Amino acid sequence: MDSQAKPTLNANPPKRSRKLLGSVIAVAVMAALGGLAWYLTHQPATPAGGASAQGPGGPGPGGPGGPGAGGGRRSPATTVGVATAEKADIPVTLEALGTVTAAATTTVRPQVSGILQSVLYKEGQMVKAGQVLAQIDPRQFEMSLMQATGTRQRDEAQLENARLTLNRYRTLLTQDSIARQDVDTQAALVKQLEGTVMTDKAAEGTAKLNLGYTKVVAPISGRVGLRTVDIGNLVGSSDTSGIAVITQLSPIDVEFSIPQDSVPGVAQRVNDGASLPALALDRTRTNTLDSGKFYAMDNQIDTSTGTVKAKARFANAKSTLFPSQFVNVRLELNTIKDAIMVPVTALRHGTKGDFVYVLKEDKTVTVRQVKRGASTTDKVQITEGLKLGEQVITEGADRLKEGAKVTLPGAKPAGAGAGAGADGAAKGEHHRRNKEGAAKAEGAAKQ
């Protein structure tokens, strides 16, 4: 019995050994396939021309003596932005900080003294010249006018009687019935009364004026300020605050300063009879408040600032300008016709002066020395060194040099299609190898 049991106990170890050996083989195959997949997916792409990832001179097919011998890695072409030199008319402008000033400001004071009876305007109201603003009690002035009128009528009656008497005396003198002295005395009396009547008429006219002055009217058109006096107060011509203050808003002026170096150019344009357009801009220089024209320039230079004061006049139809407001003034002095313009970003400065990178037909660049002229906010004039229609580099010029190869935005680099095809084939091969390796590993595990 013991001899029969021993063979049974020795039969199990070989089966276990085979299973263990199969498992080890399966694990080894899976590890090898995993390593192969990692190597294939992380291997760097081979550049066009046969150069290996290790660069010129290194081992592999791209090194010396290999398929890519002699063709080292080239630096990639720089992607740049370009612009075309265009022809345009550019204005030559002068910019300065200005202060809005009213063309006229008037403090309305009564010309006669009296009790303020009524105020006929609202604070902040726009009024016209001749509009009644306030009424002073007119009764005492009406009485004065009546008195002056009565005096004039009395003296006119006396004058008429004296003239009739003079005519009778002259008739008697022709009949030699009266002395000549009496005639001369009567003639002098007539002239005296004529003078009295003239004085009476002047007094009557003054009384009419004073009566008219009881209606306080606006001398100019503009906006009325805040009220300074109330009804029932005694007002007169000596009041410093007056009844109202009127500020003319249309037209309105803007005072600004012109640098002394620009004065001859402005004066020449004005002497030639040119009308210089002016713009009033807000503090950000983005919104135009109103447009007008150059109005006047002072006759002397301020030695402390080296500038000359000037004025520009604006219609201010929409009341966008307000007295004492700070604005930016842009005065157009002249217009340059058919100027060659490029973006400001295309112009660069070197040791030899200003230059630009010009794009050639073979997609390389060349350095071109130029001379700049007038400029705007985003473009600059090229007076020499550039022709109309030539393309200049506006972006990416920091990485360029003479003869550098460039790529325009949106252009596909050479060999891009071939590289994409090679990548696709490599991925397909990797996928096929992975599937074969997985099938082998599964078969080994089953065994």
Q: What percent of the chain has pLDDT over 70?
A: 79
Cβ–Cβ under 8 Å, residues 248 and 105: yes
Same domain, 185 and 306: no
Structure tokens at 362: 């073979």
* Residues 6 or more apart in contact with residue 319 via CB below 8 angstroms: 249, 250
Q: What is the pLDDT of residue 82?
A: 87
Q: What is the pLDDT of residue 120?
A: 93
**255 vs 244: CA distance, rounded Å:** 25
Q: Mean per-residue pLDDT for 117-136?
A: 93
Give the pLDDT band of residue 29 (cuts 50, 70, 90).
confident
Q: Mean per-residue pLDDT for 95-119?
A: 93
CATH number, domain containing residue 314: 2.40.30.170
Query: Considering its fold, how many domains does the chain have in total?
Result: 5
Strand ranges of the sheet holding 126-127, from the earlier edge strand across to the other edge: 105-108, 244-247, 222-224, 126-127
Same domain, 289 and 317: yes
**9 vs 16: CA distance, rounded Å:** 13
Give per-residue pLDDT as tens, 184-201.
Answer: 999 999 999 999 999 999
Q: What is the pLDDT of residue 46?
A: 43
Same domain, 331 and 345: no
Which of 337, 361, 386 finishes a domain? 337
Same domain, 396 and 367: yes
Between 10-24, 73-87, 218-232, 390-404, the lowest mean confidence (pLDDT) is in 10-24
Give per-residue pLDDT as tens, 242-301.
Answer: 999 999 999 999 999 999 988 998 998 888 888 899 999 998 888 999 999 999 999 999
Please name the residue that has the structure tokens 């082998």. Answer: 440
Same domain, 297 and 343: no
Residue 370: how many CB atoms within 10 A of its CB?
A: 22
Structural domain of 146 = 138-213
Same domain, 447 and 393: no
Contacts by 67-73, CB closer than 8 A, 24 or more apart: 73/47
Same domain, 395 and 284: no
Cβ–Cβ under 8 Å, residues 368 and 385: yes
Which of 337, 357, 373 finishes a domain? 337
Q: What is the pLDDT of residue 131?
A: 94
- Report the candidate in 111, 139, 137, 359 with the shortest Cα–Cα distance to residue 219: 111
Which of 168, 197, 213 finishes a domain? 213
In a domain, 204, yes or no: yes
Cβ–Cβ under 8 Å, residues 246 and 156: no
State whether residue 1 is helix, strand or coil. coil
In a domain, 431, yes or no: yes
Alpha helices in 128-254, H assignment, sequence order: 139-174, 180-213
In a domain, 10, yes or no: yes
Quick one: DSSP state of residue 71? Answer: -
Give the pLDDT band of residue 377 (cuts 50, 70, 90).
confident
- Report the candidate in 1, 151, 56, 36 with the shortest Cα–Cα distance to residue 440: 36
CATH number, domain containing residue 377: 2.40.420.20
* Residues found in the chain: 447
Same domain, 124 and 239: yes
Q: Give the bridge partners for 271, in sequence order.
A: none
**419 vs 427: CA distance, rounded Å:** 12
Q: Which amino acid is at 63?
A: G
Of 359 and 447, more confident: 359
Same domain, 430 and 443: yes
In a domain, 160, yes or no: yes
| pTM score, whole prediction | 0.58
Same domain, 236 and 259: no
CATH number, domain containing residue 200: 1.10.287
Same domain, 185 and 241: no
Same domain, 268 and 158: no
